[in-house]
Amino acid sequence: MGRSLAIALARQGANLVLAARQHTALEEVADACLAVGGKAISVPTDVTQPEACQQLIEQAIATFGHIDILINNAGISMLTTFDQVTDLSIFEQVMRVNYLGAVYFTHFALPHLKASRGLLVAISSLCGKTAVPTRSGYVASKHAMHGFFDTLRIELRGTGVDVLVVSPGFVATDIRQRALGSDGKVLGQSPRDENQNTMSTDECVRQIVWAMERRKREHLMTLKGKITPWAKLLIPGLVDKIAAHAARTTVFEGK
């Protein structure tokens, strides 16, 4: 998703600072951005390290002079029921990447965003709006992300900085194949049929850019995603039953 979003923004002439752990992959994305008319630098970064996040922001300012938009997109998932977990460190790992990484980057970027009256973007998930069995750590991290950015939106009223939280559903990425299992190891394959009810990366990116252009406060993808928060208020028990049924019908190996 990050790659596709970067290229889409590059087509609009954006100056991009790309962050991820893998240097080679970053360079490939930067080259793709340059090829479509954007400007891009790649900065290998571990988002779980505050110092690394600070250095990236400093390099962005040194290269381009200002920051207009910060997109927090780093994410990792976990797939196992809680009673099967044998390595509790996966909860800390997921929280550090999905939640604290966004906190760190936002902290160091915020003075520059205030100066530019910029936009904060959090790529969250529909899991941040409701409970999803077998994803307790991931759900918790996305709920934390939602709470943080919703609070920040209120605190930043009057500063000119807008906060957008985007919540995709199932998107055709490798996040589920790379999810952590009960023992903390990467699963290697998705437990669900990726050919069913999965949004294309291009469509997901189109919606993200659409929401960014309008500086929306929140964007929920899919009809189910829009209905579920209201259903939780009116018929919470039924929503739980539907979620439980969906988990039972998913092919899943808790290992």
For Cα atoms 108, 144, 114, give the angle at the middle one, nearest 5 degrees: 30
Are the beta carbons of 160 and 117 closer than 8 angstroms?
yes
* CB contact set of 246 (below 8 Å; sequence gap of 6+): 133
Partner residues linked to 220 by β-bridges: 167
Q: How far apart are CA 170 and CA 182, in angstroms?
A: 21
Q: How far apart are CA 28 and CA 9, in angstroms?
A: 16
Does residue 99 have an active-site annotation?
Answer: no
* CB contact set of 189 (below 8 Å; sequence gap of 6+): 177
Q: Which residues of 87-213 form beta strands (DSSP E)? A: 119-123, 162-167
Q: How far apart are CA 45 and CA 96, in angstroms?
A: 14
* CB contact set of 73 (below 8 Å; sequence gap of 6+): 1, 2, 5, 123
- The tokens for 13 are 């002439």
| Residue of 91, 138, 149, 170 marked catalytic | 138
**209 Cα distance to chain centroid:** 14
Q: How far apart are CA 74 and CA 94, in angstroms?
A: 10
Catalytically active residues, by annotation: 138
